[in-house]
Amino acid sequence: MDAIKLDVPFTVPLLGEAFVEAGTPLLTAALGFSWRVTVKKSDSQNLSIPISSPHLKKMLSKFLASQGLDGCYSISGPHEGGPDQDFVNAAALLYLTECDAIEENLPQLLKKAGPWDFVTAARALTSLSGGVVASRQGEGFLSIESTASGPICLRILPGRRLDETPVSKFSKDFPALSDPMWHLLAHLVLEGINAIQRGDLAALGRAFSLEASLLYATGQIALSDLQRVSEIPSLGSKIIVSPTLVADVAIPAGGALPEDFQVVRLSYEGVKEIEG
């Protein structure tokens, strides 16, 4: 194939990303800005793709090969070398398959993925479809019907990276509390899904704030983090917690926001090919 240029929507986890290891659902959304990338293929007997995570690379290679893709792929753009590289590249590669059954075929391959690889895959699939996607490891991915558009405000915290989740430590230290905690968090994500379906951003904001408190209670964030997001003039706020993206996210209440926030809207357009 000749080089093609793609517009890949930026996606974020809204709820549940820090607790995937405990089996909670995950809610991800595409936002109204994107990465523009160029995909090139060179001839090779072996399939080669630019994914840094070993397990995610193996899983995607297996799926892409099943769809008839071969050769050596390179993907260039402003995302190269950055924390978003794997999810952007995965979304671009999945776009090339032109496969309508991706949401049905990938879950089986992702059953043994680590929690952060699963979050990366969910972000990639959300870029592919646009809109809002609910997922759960071992169960699959489901696009959520909604007319909600936002606004949502986002403040990416550069330099903040988390290498692992304390979920297993909390389960070990508080065995009597952990199961009820994970059950509560699963219901919280489901409430977020219901809020998105109803277009009720105030309810989504309340879910954000409750999850922020539970992130602190389970050792995921510091008290200073909780205090910082609690001071945002909003209908609710939380911290997105993942190794590749740490950010403050909130539903604005109409007042003045700190200057370092971006105000964005949900996007229902997925990956698309562009000219030029």
Say which amino acid occupies 111: K
User: 4-274 adopts what CATH topology?
Assistant: Alpha-Beta Plaits (3.30.70)
Euclidean distance between CA atoms 230 and 257, whole angstroms: 13
pLDDT in tens, 221-271: 999 999 999 999 999 999 999 888 999 999 999 778 888 999 999 999 999
Kind of pairing, strands 234-240 and 140-144? unpaired
pLDDT in tens, 139-171: 888 899 988 888 999 999 876 655 556 788 899
pLDDT in tens, 18-73: 999 999 999 999 999 999 999 999 988 889 999 999 999 998 998 898 888 889 99
Helices (H), the chain: 54-66, 85-97, 102-109, 115-129, 167-173, 175-198, 201-217, 223-230
pTM higher than the cut 0.85:
yes
| Lowest-confidence region among 93-107, 146-160, 166-180 | 93-107
Q: Where are the domains of the chain?
A: 4-274
Euclidean distance between CA atoms 234 and 209, whole angstroms: 10
Could you tell me the CA-to-CA distances from 239 to 50, 176, 209 in Å, in that order?
Answer: 29, 26, 9
The pLDDT, as a whole number, for residue 159 is 65
Euclidean distance between CA atoms 99 and 108, whole angstroms: 16
Euclidean distance between CA atoms 131 and 127, whole angstroms: 8
The pLDDT, as a whole number, for residue 165 is 63
